[in-house]
């Protein structure tokens, strides 16, 4: 069966824009030979395929020989990357190219010209906070100074030594902070939020033992960025939502204070906006959420937001998550369904580039939209897309997908299936260590409901709601309410109205209070 996800060359060609394809063909014509004309034919053949199918490729292109195909594909891949390198405006690509130019000049014996370029590299790298490129330039510069008489040696050794020590310290701290932030993020991707006191204790011990010693006042852009990232992930995993808000705001503020870095590190800025919007979402800060959403939209339309396909894809992912969250906050579930076709269309368009984690989040949020709008069948359809996958990441998402799946069947009156699902979901959540007092109470209620008459079931919703509201202040219970507004669902059952009507009413009350506060 054809599989477009298995061939790297096909993926690369499919990711190219029209201008990049044109530049590639111009690049090949400049270096053209008989082999290059063959790779152009291969390029066009792959470009015109909807899915990669090697048998079809060879059958429709008689000039392509199977025994030569592997080498031709490798050569084509290399030439595409070469053409992209020359057309890339990325600061890191530019610095790499300048260092390569310095090496070419050095190999020609033009030492002074090489040193002149290296000075420019260091200055540019320092301006754009690129410490690793400063380090590369310094290492090369010291090599030239130690091997050749350049007439620039007076006090040069001391200057280079001091500069090297400073850059080494920065690169070392940067490496520690970025690695530390990555390990925390990896923990979240694998497990979600801290599940119990054991998780909480282990995470705090890891954080305190591995956070590098640093002085925030002396840190440069990237050092601060990874410092704020590490604290954002740490507080979010622990469900310290105010702490998560504070560090997400610092993350975004760092970019606002260094506006040029939005173009250089656009994905990092997008991720910061996403975290800040998420913080306002979970804290129900309606006004602040709307401000960040508008900030997000403005960036999406800016030069930095449109600079390359990767930025456009990541902006799409996080901006649409924010748009979905807005409908959850306002209780406009049915209205929110209007953006689902667009999201699905883009997921299909970007499926080579969107990781499984993000797709699972989209499926869960879309399922919640359908559940909140009263369409339990469609909710179950999307939840099955999560449940039927191997739970090898975001265990928490798999658990709550199963719990919502259970509740959706309960809403539909599929009680025979619900009896089985109660046991199945409970075992799964227990195995994944994802049960807390909230889930225990829900399972207890559902089990008992089978022995109750219809009138008694509705009467039992109220004490369950009161129990859960009393638990809501427990930090370790916070995540349950982040994934599933179980109290909103219970209130809808008590009042016998749709869930979205309950949430929309809460939003209107909050809006009215804000307007009153603004008057005074």
The span from the CA of 454 to the CA of 439, in Å, is 22
Position 77 in a domain: yes
Structure-token match 């084509």, residue found: 76
Residue 513's pLDDT is 62
Position 465 in a domain: no
Residue 51 and residue 26 in one domain: yes
Residue 474's pLDDT is 76
Residue 267's pLDDT is 94
Position 459 in a domain: no
The span from the CA of 84 to the CA of 5, in Å, is 22
Range(s) of the domain holding residue 60: 8-87
pTM of this structure:
0.83
Q: Is 325 left (phi over 0), alpha (psi -120 to 50) or beta?
A: alpha
Cα radius of gyration rounded to whole Å, the chain: 28
The residue from 154, 181, 209 where one domain ends is 154
Residue 155's pLDDT is 74
Task: Answer yes or no: are the C-beta atoms of 176 and 462 closer than 8 Å.
Answer: no
The span from the CA of 362 to the CA of 317, in Å, is 9
Position 321 in a domain: yes
338-to-217, 334, 335, 398 alpha-carbon distances in Å: 47, 8, 6, 25
Residue 275 and residue 310 in one domain: yes
Residue 262 and residue 300 in one domain: yes
Position 126 in a domain: yes
Task: Answer yes or no: are the C-beta atoms of 252 and 269 closer than 8 Å.
Answer: yes
The residue from 154, 185, 203 where one domain ends is 154
| C-alpha torsion sign, points 276, 280, 286, 288 | negative
First to last CA, the chain: 67
Q: How many domains does the chain have?
A: 3
Residue 23's pLDDT is 87
| C-alpha torsion sign, points 352, 356, 361, 362 | positive
The span from the CA of 445 to the CA of 442, in Å, is 5
Task: Answer yes or no: are the C-beta atoms of 362 and 342 closer than 8 Å.
Answer: no
Task: Answer yes or no: are the C-beta atoms of 8 and 27 closer than 8 Å.
Answer: no
Find the DSSP H helices in 61-155: 66-87, 91-107, 111-127, 131-147
pLDDT averaged over 10-residue windows placed end to end, the chain, 520 residues: 62 87 85 70 90 87 83 90 75 90 89 90 92 93 77 71 90 94 90 84 94 91 96 94 97 96 94 96 93 96 90 95 95 96 93 87 95 95 93 83 93 91 91 83 88 80 89 74 85 90 87 54
Position 405 in a domain: no
The phi and psi torsions of 65 (rounded to 5 degrees) equal: -95, 135
Q: Quick one: tokens of 213?
A: 């010693």
């Amino acid at each position: 069966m054809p599989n477009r996800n298995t061939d790297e060359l096909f993926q690369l060609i499919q990711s190219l824009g029209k201008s990049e394809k044109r530049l590639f063909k111009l690049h090949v014509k400049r270096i053209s030979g008989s082999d290059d004309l063959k790779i152009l034919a291969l390029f066009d053949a792959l470009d015109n395929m909807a899915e990669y199918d090697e048998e079809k490729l060879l059958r429709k292109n008689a000039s392509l020989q199977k025994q030569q195909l592997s080498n031709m594909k490798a050569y084509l891949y290399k030439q595409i990357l070469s053409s992209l390198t020359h057309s890339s405006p990325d600061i890191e690509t530019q610095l790499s190219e300048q260092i390569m130019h310095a090496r070419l000049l050095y190999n020609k014996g033009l030492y002074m010209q090489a040193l002149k370029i290296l000075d420019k590299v260091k200055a540019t790298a320092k301006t754009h906070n690129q410490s690793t490129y400063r380090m590369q330039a310094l290492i090369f510069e010291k090599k030239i100074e130690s091997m050749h008489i350049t007439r620039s040696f007076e006090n040069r050794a001391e200057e280079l030594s001091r500069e090297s020590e400073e850059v080494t310290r920065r690169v070392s701290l940067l490496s520690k902070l970025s690695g530390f932030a990555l390990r925390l993020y990896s923990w979240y991707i694998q497990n979600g939020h801290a599940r119990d006191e054991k998780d909480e204790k282990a995470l705090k011990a890891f954080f305190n033992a591995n956070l590098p010693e640093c002085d925030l006042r002396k840190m440069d852009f990237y050092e601060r960025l990874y410092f704020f990232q590490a604290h954002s992930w740490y507080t979010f995993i622990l469900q310290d939502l105010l702490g998560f808000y504070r560090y997400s705001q610092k993350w975004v503020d760092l970019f606002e204070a260094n506006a040029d870095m939005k173009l250089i590190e656009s994905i990092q800025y997008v991720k910061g906006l996403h975290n800040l919007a998420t913080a306002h979402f979970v804290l129900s800060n309606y006004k602040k959420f709307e401000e960040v959403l508008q900030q997000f939209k403005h960036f999406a339309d800016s030069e930095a937001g449109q600079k390359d396909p990767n930025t456009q894809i990541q902006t799409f992912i996080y901006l649409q998550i924010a748009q979905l969250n807005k409908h959850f906050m306002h209780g406009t579930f049915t209205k929110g369904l209007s953006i689902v076709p667009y999201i699905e269309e883009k997921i299909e368009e970007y499926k080579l580039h969107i990781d499984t984690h993000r797709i699972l989040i989209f499926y869960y949020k879309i399922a919640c939209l359908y559940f909140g709008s009263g369409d339990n069948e469609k909710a179950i359809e999307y939840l099955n897309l999560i449940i039927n996958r191997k739970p090898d990441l975001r265990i928490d998402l798999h658990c709550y997908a199963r719990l919502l799946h259970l509740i959706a069947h309960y809403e539909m009156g599929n009680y025979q299936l619900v009896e089985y699902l109660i046991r199945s979901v409970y075992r799964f959540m227990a195995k994944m260590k994802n049960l807390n007092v909230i889930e225990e109470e829900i399972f207890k209620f559902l089990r008992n409901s089978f022995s109750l008459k219809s009138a008694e079931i509705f009467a039992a919703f109220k004490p369950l709601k009161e129990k859960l509201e009393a638990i809501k202040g427990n930090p370790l219970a916070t995540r349950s309410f982040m994934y599933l507004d179980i109290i909103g669902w219970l209130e809808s059952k008590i009042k016998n109205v749709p869930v979205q009507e309950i949430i929309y009413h809460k939003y209107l009350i909050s809006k009215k209070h804000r307007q009153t506060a603004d008057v005074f």
